[in-house]
Structure 1
Amino acid sequence: MLFEATGYSNVGQTRESNQDSYLIKIASTTMGDVALLAVADGMGGLESGELASASVIRMLSTWFDTKLPAALEAMEASVGGFEQFVDGQWNGLIQDMNMALIRHGMSERMNLGTTLTAMLAIGGRYSIVHVGDTRAYEIGDDRVVQLTEDQTFVRREVAAGRMTPEEAMVHPRRNVLLQCLGSTKEVVPDLIHGNLDRDAIYLLCSDGFRHVLTDGEVRKRLGPAALDDASWAAERTRPGFAHADEVSLAVEEQHGFPEGSVSFRLASVARLVMDRKEEDNLTAVVMRVEQGGR
């Protein structure tokens, strides 16, 4: 399969710095294209949040460059073998990321942490590793499927029947995470696998990007029909590490994108979110299976 992807990040209207980071890497191999997408939302103060999210994105990027080739050999034997390899690699990587942040925080006497949602796509399948409340979605013309579950206090309460979804949206503890990287010595990531839908759009985003959007708005603005005529040509790959500060754009700069581009669509959604008084950083990455890709 061939993949097209692009991302967008904005510091927002009230924050002094952008603590989000994201990654897009697409590589051509003898087994076809492989894509890695990730979004991390840092926390812990200005420099701490930026450092935390940037650090885990760099480690993930290095994994893609140095460890993934061995996983591709396992895939030739079976998809199951490949996914078991990836799960093992990601479990170890999550622990390494977590301890690296803890050690740095202790040495510098600072509190820092980050969420992380990453998706690896290859051979008609996707694998996701997830910690925190960044999200991954599969968007079809008639549906929006949340592929990850928020690891938050309110999501747990809703699942237990002690709170309604409507109450969760306005609860004073709605942003309280049950776990993130860098806060405790034990982190248990969610590992998720599924079949890629060549007719769908895949979206990874920070909580600031999606807080005030309905599923219907996400589908209407970023679904397959909305992006069918959008230009991905100049944005097919963004290899390597991309920290949000390097790619974030002021609201008024969104018109610097060609109007028919995917980047323009993402910037337009971000503008809508900020018009609704969202105060957080906003970051999103979208991917589709290229038309005609095998």
Structure 2
Amino acid sequence: MNYIISASTDVGNIKNTNQDSFNAKLISTKQGKMVFAVLCDGMGGLSKGEVASTTVVKAFGKWAETRLPELSENEITDSDIRNDWVQIVTDFNEKIKSYGKKSGISLGTTVTAILITNRRYYIINVGDTRAYQITDSVQVLTKDQTVVAREVELGNITEEEAKTDPRRSVLLQCIGASDVVYPDMFFGDTAQNAVYMLCSDGFRHEISEQEIYQYLQPDVMLDSDGMKFNMDKLIKINKQRQERDNITVLSIRTF
């Protein structure tokens, strides 16, 4: 399996600071080439959200640099990834809470991280950043930890109502602002000739799934420059439609 990686971010129309943080890297291991990527959205409206998001991105990046090569000495298991990543989230929930308490500020962050190997993908998610798989259709791989997602699941509101519900950005939990964080984990078989996309919620509110497919499906995502051009186009459309949040998108093309 080979990979192409590209990313784009924008402060958006309203905010003075971009509280989104991300990192992506191609890693050569004894198990073959892998891609690790992580995206965090610092909490809108909370002070120093960029501190929280950057801190968690760095923690996961350190894991990819130090721990992943150790795991790759043997076949990686779902439980290996689950145990390591849940521990990172648990540790940094406490560290960020402690920092906020000492500093007298409120801060927090979402996280979506993905490891893609030639056999399997592994995802952790807290909050409402998302991971997608795009092949001949668009599939959301994560589950939003939001009030409106829970209301849809309970049958209290419809998917259409959720799109305009004023609570759509209210999280059920986030790293640094929850007593205990319960991350969701997702695992699956890696698809060849696919696009794996991570995004902050600011990227997806004002565009449709059909537009995501039009600009990000594998047949038009053939090189890093072209991938960035297409992602920038969707960011521009979001801003034209008055998206108010920071906007970040990261894509990995498998081939």
TM-score, structure 1 as length reference? 0.84
Q: Counterpart of 1:273?
A: 238
* 1:86 equivalent in alignment to 2:81: yes
Describe the superposition over 1:119-173 as per-residue Cα deviations: whole angstroms up to 9, x where unpaired: 00113210000000000000113x1000001000000010111111111111121
Q: Counterpart of 2:103?
A: 108
Paired residue type of 2:236: R
Paired residue type of 1:56: V
* 1:200 equivalent in alignment to 2:165: no
Paired residue type of 1:5: I
**Aligned mates of 1:93, 1:46 — CA distance in 2:** 22
Q: Counterpart of 1:287?
A: 252
TM superposition outliers: structure 1 runs of 4+ over 3 Å: 44-47
**Aligned mates of 1:67, 1:225 — CA distance in 2:** 34
**Aligned mates of 2:95, 2:74 — CA distance in 1:** 28
Unmatched segments (≥5 aa) in structure 1: 233-259
- TM-superposed CA distance for 1:181, in Å, is 0.4
Q: Counterpart of 2:156?
A: 162
**Aligned mates of 2:101, 2:191 — CA distance in 1:** 44
- TM-superposed CA distance for 1:10, in Å, is 0.4
After the TM superposition, which residues 70-81 of structure 1 pair with which residues of structure 2 at under 5 Å, given as runs?
Answer: 70-75=70-75, 79=76
Unmatched segments (≥5 aa) in structure 2: none
After the TM superposition, which residues 192-271 of structure 1 pair with which residues of structure 2 at under 5 Å, given as runs?
Answer: 192-228=186-222, 231-232=223-224, 261-271=226-236
Describe the superposition over 1:39-92 as per-residue Cα deviations: whole angstroms up to 9, x where unpaired: 1000165751110100000001111111112211231xxx5xx22111110111
Q: Is the 8 A contact 1:131 1:181 kept in 2?
A: yes
CA 1:124 to 1:11, structure 2 compared with 1: closer, same or farther past 3 Å? same
> 1 or 2 for the larger relative contact order (CA 8 Å, sep ≥6)?
1
CA 1:44 to 1:14, structure 2 compared with 1: closer, same or farther past 3 Å? closer
**Aligned mates of 2:132, 2:166 — CA distance in 1:** 25
Paired residue type of 1:216: Q
Question: How large is the Cα RMSD of the aligned pairs?
Answer: 1.3
Matched residue of 1:74: which SS? coil
**Aligned mates of 1:145, 1:262 — CA distance in 2:** 19
Q: Is the 8 A contact 1:44 1:111 kept in 2?
A: no
Matched residue of 1:43: which SS? coil
Q: Counterpart of 1:238?
A: none
CA 1:154 to 1:183, structure 2 compared with 1: closer, same or farther past 3 Å? same
**Aligned mates of 1:105, 1:38 — CA distance in 2:** 23
CA 1:47 to 1:110, structure 2 compared with 1: closer, same or farther past 3 Å? closer
